[in-house]
Chain A
Amino acid sequence: MKNHIIKTENISKTYNPDTVPVHALKAVNLEFSKGEFTSIVGPSGSGKTTLLNMLGGLDKPTEGHVEVDGVKITGMKDSKLIEFRLQNIGFVFQHYNLIPVFTAKENVSFIMLLQKRSKKEMEHRAEELLNKVGLGDRMDARPKQMSGGQQQRVAVARALASEPKFILADEPTANLDTSSAMNLLDIMEKMNKEQGITFIFSTHDQRVIDRARRVITMVDGQVHTDEIHKESSSTITENDSQRIDTE
Chain B
Amino acid sequence: MKTLFVIAWRNIWRNPGRSGVLLMAVVAGLWAGVVTVGTMNGMLNQRVDYLIDSEIAHAQIHNPEFLLERRPYDYIPEFDKLVEILESDQRVAGFAPRVLADGMLQSPVKTAGVRIRGIDITKETQTTSFHENLVDGQYLDSDIRNAVFVGQRLLESHKLRIGNRLVLTFEDVNGDLTSAAFTISGSFQSASSDYDESHVFVRVTDLLPLLSPDSEVYHEVAVRLHDIALSDEFVRDISAQITGVKAQTWNQISPELSTLVELGGVMLHIVTLIIMLALAFGILNTMLMAIFERLREIGMLLSIGMSRAKVFLLIMLESVVLTLTGAVTGIILALISIRRFAETGINFEMFADGIASLGWDHVVYPVLSTQEFAGIIVIVIVITMLSSLYPAIKAMRQNPLEVEK
Query: Interface of A with B (CB < 8 Å)?
Result: 49, 53, 56, 58-59, 78-79, 82-83, 85-87, 91, 93-95, 97, 99-102, 110-111, 113-115, 158, 162, 170
Binds A, one of B100-108, B215-223, B242-250, B304-312: B304-312
Pairs A–B under 8 Å by Cβ, sample size 28: A53-B401, A56-B303, A58-B400, A58-B403, A78-B308, A82-B305, A82-B307, A83-B307, A85-B303, A86-B304, A86-B305, A91-B303, A91-B304, A94-B404, A97-B296, A97-B297, A97-B300, A97-B403, A99-B297, A99-B300, A100-B297, A101-B7, A101-B11, A102-B7, A111-B304, A114-B307, A158-B304, A170-B404
Tell me, yes or no, whether B14 is within 8 Å of chain A by CB. yes
Name the residue on A nearest B10 (C-beta): A101
Tell me, yes or no, whether B371 is within 8 Å of chain A by CB. no
Query: In the complex, how many angstroms separate the beta carbon of B396 from the nearest chain A beta carbon?
Result: 11
Tell me, yes or no, whether B302 is within 8 Å of chain A by CB. yes
Query: In the complex, how many angstroms separate the beta carbon of A121 from the nearest chain B beta carbon?
Result: 15
Bound CA span A238–B11, Å: 43
Bound CA span A110–B305, Å: 11
Contacting A at CB under 8 A, from B289-342, are 296-297, 300-308, 310
Tell me, yes or no, whether B3 is within 8 Å of chain A by CB. yes
Query: In the complex, how many angstroms separate the beta carbon of A129 from the nearest chain B beta carbon?
Result: 15
Contacting A at CB under 8 A, from B216-256, are none
Given contacts A99-B297, A101-B7, A101-B14, contact A114 B404 (CB under 8 A): no
Indicate if the CB atoms of B7 and A99 lie closer than 8 Å.
yes
Query: In the complex, how many angstroms separate the beta carbon of B293 from the nearest chain A beta carbon?
Result: 11
B7 CB contacts on chain A under 8 angstroms: 99, 101-102
Bound CA span A113–B6, Å: 13
Query: Interface of B with A (CB < 8 Å)?
Result: 3, 7, 10-11, 14, 296-297, 300-308, 310, 400-401, 403-404
Name the residue on A nearest B2 (C-beta): A113
B401 CB contacts on chain A under 8 angstroms: 53, 58-59
Bound CA span A95–B296, Å: 10
Partner of B305, one of A87, A94, A95: A87
A111 CB contacts on chain B under 8 angstroms: 304-305
Bound CA span A85–B305, Å: 6
Bound CA span A113–B303, Å: 15
Bound CA span A93–B304, Å: 10
Bound CA span A78–B396, Å: 12
Name the residue on A nearest B14 (C-beta): A101
Query: In the complex, how many angstroms separate the beta carbon of A71 from the nearest chain B beta carbon?
Result: 15
B297 CB contacts on chain A under 8 angstroms: 97, 99-100
B296 CB contacts on chain A under 8 angstroms: 95, 97
Query: In the complex, how many angstroms separate the beta carbon of B250 from the nearest chain A beta carbon?
Result: 59
Query: In the complex, how many angstroms separate the beta carbon of A198 from the nearest chain B beta carbon?
Result: 17
Indicate if the CB atoms of A110 and B3 lie closer than 8 Å.
yes
Indicate if the CB atoms of B304 and A85 lie closer than 8 Å.
yes
Query: In the complex, how many angstroms separate the beta carbon of A59 from the nearest chain B beta carbon?
Result: 6
Indicate if the CB atoms of B308 and A114 lie closer than 8 Å.
no
Bound CA span A205–B296, Å: 25
Name the residue on B nearest A97 (C-beta): B300
B400 CB contacts on chain A under 8 angstroms: 58, 82
Indicate if the CB atoms of A49 and B3 lie closer than 8 Å.
no
Bound CA span A100–B306, Å: 16
Bound CA span A99–B302, Å: 12
Bound CA span A49–B303, Å: 14
Query: In the complex, how many angstroms separate the beta carbon of A12 from the nearest chain B beta carbon?
Result: 18
A113 CB contacts on chain B under 8 angstroms: 3
Name the residue on B nearest A86 (C-beta): B305
Bound CA span A115–B310, Å: 13
Query: In the complex, how many angstroms separate the beta carbon of B363 from the nearest chain A beta carbon?
Result: 51
B302 CB contacts on chain A under 8 angstroms: 82
9 closest A-B pairs by CB: A86-B305, A101-B10, A97-B300, A85-B305, A58-B400, A91-B303, A82-B307, A113-B3, A82-B305
Given contacts A101-B7, A101-B10, contact A162 B305 (CB under 8 A): yes
Indicate if the CB atoms of B303 and A114 lie closer than 8 Å.
no
Query: In the complex, how many angstroms separate the beta carbon of B15 from the nearest chain A beta carbon?
Result: 11
A79 CB contacts on chain B under 8 angstroms: 307-308
Name the residue on A nearest B309 (C-beta): A79
Please name 14 further chain A to chain B contacts, defined as beta carbons within 8 Å, in addition to the given A58-B303, A82-B308, A170-B404, sorted by A numbering: A56-B303, A58-B400, A82-B305, A82-B306, A85-B304, A85-B305, A86-B304, A87-B305, A97-B297, A101-B10, A101-B11, A110-B3, A113-B3, A115-B305
Bound CA span A78–B306, Å: 12
Indicate if the CB atoms of B305 and A114 lie closer than 8 Å.
yes
Bound CA span A114–B296, Å: 19
B310 CB contacts on chain A under 8 angstroms: 114
A59 CB contacts on chain B under 8 angstroms: 401
Bound CA span A2–B400, Å: 29
Query: In the complex, how many angstroms separate the beta carbon of A58 from the nearest chain B beta carbon?
Result: 5
Query: In the complex, how many angstroms separate the beta carbon of A79 from the nearest chain B beta carbon?
Result: 7
Residue from the set A58, A95, A158 with the largest chain B CB neighbour count within 10 Å:
A58
Bound CA span A79–B309, Å: 9
Bound CA span A56–B403, Å: 13
Bound CA span A94–B11, Å: 23
